[in-house]
């Protein structure tokens, strides 16, 4: 392949990034990379070792023993940490919150940068995250900033947790989300921010299919696919 296409989809939690990116990747035969899952994997690693996400003395040292492999299987992206598949374990509110905090450490972001960039060199890829268009892939073929109102986003996350049988309340999810939005967009390094050249898509009033169709249409138009 001469040049690979890369699509950056950034935005706050619950905007529908992963569902939209996954569906678009399937339709266009691109690889889909959920970068949040990589930060969640680091969060899992330090949690298992009893270290907090704000501990700037120990977290950088623990990265030496954090061997992350990503497998793209039929049922989606699998995260392998030191040989163990932890894909299911990282989908909890606690790990989400820990990931948001540990992601503010420069050493962690630096550690994960090449992993993300290398994948984009060798695959037509759709990546979702917070800083893909601004930091990871500043030359992406297309940048999309996917957003929605805080209430709409919290409702989607709440429904996901309920469907998985996790005990929580809407108020709790909304509160967690507000904190995470604040932390993600106010950290010093690579904060959540719309890239100057990103196209904004607000999904508050859109159903899932409409969001997917809108994003696929933008990609097809930009790449002339
Ligand atoms: O997308 P997610 O909810 O799985 O991400 C979990 C946390 O990881 C999120 O709150 C912030 C962090 N993250 C990040 O800092 N940069 C990314 N590219 C992706 C996620």
CA 51 – ligand 1 centroid, Å: 19
Provide the H-helix boundaries in the chain. 17-28, 35-48, 59-62, 93-102, 106-122, 150-163, 170-186, 208-223
CA 210 – ligand 1 centroid, Å: 24
Question: Hey, is 134 helix, strand or coil?
Answer: helix
Instruction: Choose the residue to mutate in 89, 103, 110 for probing ligand 1, maximizing ligand atoms within 8 Å of C-beta.
Output: 103
In whole angstroms, give the CA distance from residue 114 to residue 172: 35
Question: Hey, is 148 helix, strand or coil?
Answer: coil
Sheet holding 84-85, edge to edge: 68-73, 76-81, 84-85
Checking if the pLDDT of 1 tops 90, the result is no
Name the closest-CA residue to atom 15, ligand 1. Answer: 103
Q: Which atom of ligand 1 is nearest to the CA of 96?
A: 6
Residues near ligand 1 (Cβ within 6 A): 13, 35-36, 39-40, 96, 99-100, 103, 129-132, 180, 184
Token pair, residue 193, equals 């921010």
Q: What is the pLDDT of residues 9-67, one digit of tens each?
A: 999 988 999 999 999 999 999 999 999 999 999 999 999 999 999 999 999 999 999 99
Q: What is the pLDDT of residues 69-119, one digit of tens each?
A: 999 998 899 999 999 999 999 998 899 999 999 999 999 999 999 999 999
Task: Tell how strand 6-10 and strand 142-147 pair up.
Answer: parallel
Phi-psi region of 82 (alpha: psi -120 to 50; beta: other; left: phi over 0): left
Q: In this predicted model, which residue has the larger pLDDT, 218 or 93?
A: 218
Q: Which atom of ligand 1 is nearest to the CA of 136?
A: 18
Instruction: Choose the residue to mutate in 38, 89, 129 for probing ligand 1, maximizing ligand atoms within 8 Å of C-beta.
Output: 129
- Entry pTM: 0.91
Note the pLDDT of residue 2.
Answer: 63
The model's confidence at residue 3, banded by pLDDT at 50, 70 and 90, is confident
Buried b (16+ CB within 10 A) or exposed e, 104-134: bbeebbebbeeebeebbeebbbbbbbbbbbb
Instruction: Choose the residue to mutate in 39, 179, 181, 182 for probing ligand 1, maximizing ligand atoms within 8 Å of C-beta.
Output: 39
Q: What is the pLDDT of residues 145-185, one digit of tens each?
A: 999 999 999 999 999 889 989 889 999 999 999 999 999 99
């Amino acid at each position: 392949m001469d040049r690979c296409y890369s699509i950056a989809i950034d935005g706050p939690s619950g905007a529908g990034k992963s569902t939209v990116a996954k569906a678009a990747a399937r339709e266009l035969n691109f690889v889909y990379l959920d970068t949040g899952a990589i930060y969640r994997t680091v969060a899992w690693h330090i949690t298992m070792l009893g270290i907090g996400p704000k501990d700037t003395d120990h977290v950088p040292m623990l990265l030496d023993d954090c061997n992350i492999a990503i497998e793209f299987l039929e049922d989606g992206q699998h995260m392998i940490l030191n040989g163990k598949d932890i894909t299911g374990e990282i989908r909890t509110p606690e790990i989400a919150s820990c990931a948001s905090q540990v992601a503010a450490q420069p050493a962690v972001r630096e550690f994960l940068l090449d992993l993300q960039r290398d994948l984009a060199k060798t695959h037509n890829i759709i990546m979702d995250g917070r800083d893909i268009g601004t930091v990871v892939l500043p030359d992406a073929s297309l940048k999309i900033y996917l957003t929605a109102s805080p209430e709409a986003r919290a409702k989607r996350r709440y429904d996901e947790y309920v469907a998985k049988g996790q005990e929580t309340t809407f108020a709790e999810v909304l509160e967690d989300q507000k904190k995470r939005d604040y932390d993600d967009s106010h950290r010093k390094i690579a904060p959540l921010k719309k890239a100057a050249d990103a196209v904004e898509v607000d999904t508050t009033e859109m159903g899932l299919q409409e969001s997917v169709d809108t994003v696929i249409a933008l990609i097809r138009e930009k790449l002339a696919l």
